[in-house]
Structure 1
Amino acid sequence: MAMSPEMFQELETMTCLLSGASQLTSRIGRVSLAAFFFVRFGILAVGARSIWMEEEKSFICNSSQLLCAPSCFDEFSPISSFNLFALQLVVLITHALSVTCWNRSTNQAAETQLQAYLRGRKVQVVLHILCLLSRVVIEGIFIFTYYEMSGGFLHPAVTKCHTQLCEKNVICTDLNSFSKNVFSLGLCAVSVLSILICLMEVVISPLHRHPPK
């Protein structure tokens, strides 16, 4: 049974929404980016219940001071990696909504002068490339932020606390460091793969396949 034009357009809109890529992106690229969206959401959902729900309780220090452990935890993890990657997902969803709204506005039957201009092949390709590059920038910013925040891609299991609320030579241990590293590295890997796909789409963009005359 042939797919109606309306159903096909809704399917295209859905893939754009989940992938955050324009309709000029190849279907393989859009499907891959959409799949990565579900992978991110799944990792965050599982990690929220199993690792990050009570992560401060798994941070143990050899100190008798009441406020020492919370202060050391804030020093050790000023921003939870869960919060960072959850914010990344929100930013990517916002980016995808913007791309989807642009796609719908340039496919309306009744066109304004601006919409008619945006329908131009060359302009569409330029905006398509800008969407991909903005996605690359977003992914790169969050990878870099995670790296700087963690002092590397791996959280240390044992750290020395330097806060003034503790006595000298206080050592703290994060019991969930291995699980956090696995989940965080998984999210970083998804970001890297998304960057590679976006860069590949830029290289094989319609601007290179069909140069405007």
Structure 2
Amino acid sequence: MNWAFLQGLISGVNKYSTAFGRVWLSIVFLFRILVFVVAAEKVWGDEQKDFSCNTAQPGCHNVCFDHFFPVSHVRLWALQLIFVTCPSLLVVMHVAYRDERERKHAEKYGEGCRKLYKDTGKKRGGLWWTYVLTLLFKILVDATFVFLIYYLYEGYDFPIVVKCTEIPCPNTVDCFISRPTEKRIFTIFMVVTSLACILLSFFEVLYLVGKRCKECLVSMCKAESSNKQKRQTATLNGKYGVESELLKTPGKNSAVPSYNVAMSY
């Protein structure tokens, strides 16, 4: 694994994330990717070789193993991690697209021209929708894989002895899983971390939507206050304008006093 590439990738994603997104990224990297790379393959290993049944009937061993382990846990978790982490790259790609568009615009109209974006990394417009949709997709992926693990393996528990009645087994056969307690612990750990990531992504969606609604309400209140102030100003200007016209032009009923001066000699 190229850790330098992974570090640069995480730094790029972390740069445009909220506080919830940074915590989500830390959990995914520390408690899911590292645990998967360091311990998961060693815990499971070659399961079909370690899966034993108390019968020598040809084909029974393979059929029972396929029944209880239709998909390898390691491959299923690897697929889950790929689907969960890849959507975050869409945000980085969207920001890179904005940067490139801003660069071409500056080359075409000059460095002093008006910018297309105030901040290419700020979650506004299409970037906001990209970020929210990636969060919803990650929630859907994690929830789907948590359900798949429960459905495929009939729960999150690994019994010491499993009963197999599949054909061509002659009767009910007892099969044994290697290290069932260890597998149970790691499965529960991965499920719990997936649920924690779902909650963090859900809270982040609520935070982004709430913040956007608050900004819209504030802008609407400012616009309404500005319009109200303009209406009041127009009303006052009209009132004082009428009064000034009345003062400048005397009406028909206005009386001009005349004085008769009598002089005696």
The answer to whether the superposition gives a TM-score over 0.5 is yes
Tell me the TM-score normalized by structure 2: 0.65
Provide runs of 4+ in structure 1 moved above 4 Å: none
Alignment partner, residue 8 of structure 1: none
Counterparts of 1:15-54 in structure 2 under 5 Å?
Answer: 15-17=11-13, 23=16, 25-54=17-46
Count of residue correspondences: 196
Aligned CA distance change for structure 1 residues 125 and 210 (closer, same or farther; 3 Å): farther
Instruction: Please list, as runs of the form range in 1=range in 2, the aligned pairs for 1:138-153 lying within 5 A after superposition.
Output: 138-153=141-156
Of all paired residues, the percent bearing the same amino acid is 27
State the superposition RMSD in angstroms. 2.8
TM-score normalised by structure 1 residue count: 0.79
Q: Which residues of 2 match residues 1-213 of structure 1 at below 5 A? A: 14-17=10-13, 23=16, 25-108=17-100, 109-110=102-103, 121-205=124-208, 206-211=211-216, 213=219
| Structure 2 counterpart SS, 1:185 | helix
* DSSP-derived class of the 1:159 partner: strand
Structure 1 residues 152, 106: CA separation in 2 closer, same or farther (over 3 Å shift)?
Answer: same
1:67: how far off?
A: 2.4
The letter of the residue matching 2:62 is P
Unaligned runs of 5+ in 1: 1-10
Contact 2:59–2:168 (Cα < 8 Å) also in 1: yes
Give distance in 2, aligned partners of 1:62 and 1:13: 49
Given that 2:20 and 2:204 are in contact with CA atoms closer than 8 Å, whether structure 1 keeps it comes out as no
Answer 1 or 2: which has greater helix percent. Answer: 2
In structure 2, runs of 5+ residues without a counterpart are 1-6, 106-115, 220-265
Where 1:198 maps in the other structure, the secondary structure is helix
SS of the equivalent of 2:25 reads helix
